[in-house]
Structure formats: C-alpha cells, structure tokens
Amino acid sequence: MDCRLVTAATASEPAGDSALVHAARQGDRAAFGNLYARHARMVHGILLAKVPAEDVDDLVQDVFLKAMPRLSDLRDVSRFGPWLAAITRNRANDYHRQNRAVAAVTESLSEDDSEVPAASTASDTEAAMILSHVRSLSETYRETLILRLVEGMTGPEIAARTGLTPGSVRVNLHRGMQQLREKLSQSASGAKGQSGFDAEKNAAAQKQSNLRKRNEP
C-alpha cells in the first residue's frame, strides 16, 4: 500500500462545494442551505462521536451558525468540508471545556448507558449498547465508523467530505470494524454470564419504581 495515500490530505472535493461557498459568501442563503444539506450528516456524525446524543442536534446547528459568518476566512474554497470538520471537532472540544473535565466525559461516553431513552424497548437498549461500544473505540476509528454505520455515508463520501484520503478512511473502517466486532463478541459472552445479574438488576429497578409511585402525592 502506498503510505502517502493513508495520511496525506486528498485534493478531491464534493462536486459543487466551491460554487456554493462562493454564492454563500455573496449572501445567498439558499446556497448555504445546500451546503448544510450536503454536510449536515458529517457534522452530526463527528459530534455524535464526541458528545452525548441529546445535545448533538443543537450543536449541529451551532456549528453551521458559527461557520456562516466565517466563510470569508476560508482560504481554499475547495476544502470547505475539511474546514467544517475542524470547526466541528473544535466545537465538541469547547462543549467539554464548558461542561466538565474532558477526561471524565470521554470515560462516561464510553461507559454510560445515557443514550437509552426512559421508556426504552429492547431494540433501543441494544442500539444504545452498540453505540457505546463504537464510542469506546479510539477517536480516529469511532468517527469514521459512526459516519459509515450511523450516518449511512460510504467510504468515498467520508473521504471527500472530511478531506481524509480514501486509503486512510478504508483502513479506519477496516480496523474500527475489527475492534467493534471484538467488543461486541466480548460483550455477548459477558452478557450470557450476566443474565442472572440482569434479572436481579431489573427486579431492583422495578422495586425502586414502585417505591417512587407510592411516594407520589
């Protein structure tokens, strides 16, 4: 494999970004809306790899509103995607700075089950569990894997939008998927041994819920 392919940034861009950036710089809101439509999934995926799911939608809008007045700072209009990806990663870092210590959050993102809705079904729980495994991968792999599995982008699309080379994306997908499979199989074998414990946990949760109901006026 040509190693330069793996790390050097690619020159390719999603066709038409440059024209849209030029138009948006002239105040064309529809053009900016088009840029949003093209890149929202990428922004959403990068954020989902770093911050709690319930805050992601707000932050997506925030990233675009932040990028809008700064379009004139973009030196190379063909690199709108990579530029927006950098703004997005920076916004995610700001989020952590504002909320709590970064290390603690990273840990909680990979460990907690906070993405499980209050009224969760078995499929919600399973999805949240899988997402938490993806998020426990190293940053490089989890970002690419979320763009592929959650946002439904293809490898070539991820490369074109983020500015990573196709080789780099392909390797990230392959290795990320390999690690995810390992985590899922570990988790499955752990779950078998834990079924008794889960039953106990569910009973305790039910007891707590009954207690709460009893105490309600």
Partner 1 sequence: MNDDYLWDGSGEPDPEIQKLEKTLAKFGHQGQAPEFPEMVVTRRPRILQWGIGLRWPQVFAAAAALILLIVAVEILRWARHPAANSGSGWEVERVAGTPRVESNATGKTGGNGKLGIGQTLVTDSHSQANITVAEIGTVNVEPNTRLRLVDGGAGHNRLALERGTIHAFIWAAPGQFAVDTPSAIAVDLGCRYTLQVDDSGAGTLRTTLGWVGFKLNNREAFIPAGAVCATRPKIGPGTPYFDDAPKSFCEALSKFDFSASTPEERSAELDKILAEARPRDALTVWHLLARVEDAQRGRVYDRLASLVPPPAGVTREGILSLNQKMLDAWWNQLDLGDVFLWRTWERSWSQEKRAGS
Binders in 137-196 for partner 1, by CB under 8 A: 138-141, 148-152, 154-156, 163-164, 168, 170-171, 173-175, 177, 180-181
Interface residue with partner 1, options 18, 52, 110, 127 (CB under 8 A) = 127
**Contact in structure between 43 and 60 (CB atoms under 8 Å):** yes
**Contact in structure between 71 and 21 (CB atoms under 8 Å):** yes
Min separation Cβ 128 and partner 1, Å: 9
What three-state secondary structure class fits 115?
A: coil
**Contact in structure between 140 and 172 (CB atoms under 8 Å):** yes
Residue 54 token pair: 């319930």
Min separation Cβ 64 and partner 1, Å: 7
Query: Which residues lie below 8 Å from residue 101, measured CB to CB, with a gap of 6+?
Result: none
Using CB under 8 A as the binding rule, whether residue 8 contacts partner 1 is answered as yes
Nearer to partner 1, 97 or 207 (CB): 97
Using CB under 8 A as the binding rule, whether residue 83 contacts partner 1 is answered as yes
Residue 26 token pair: 């002239």
> In terms of Cα–Cα distance, which of 49, 54, 57 is closest to 134?
49
Nearer to partner 1, 156 or 215 (CB): 156
Nearer to partner 1, 3 or 211 (CB): 3
For residues 23-82, which are near partner 1 according to CB under 8 A? 24-29, 32-33, 36-37, 40-41, 43-45, 48, 53, 57, 60-61, 64-65, 68-69, 72, 75-76, 79, 82
What three-state secondary structure class fits 68?
A: helix
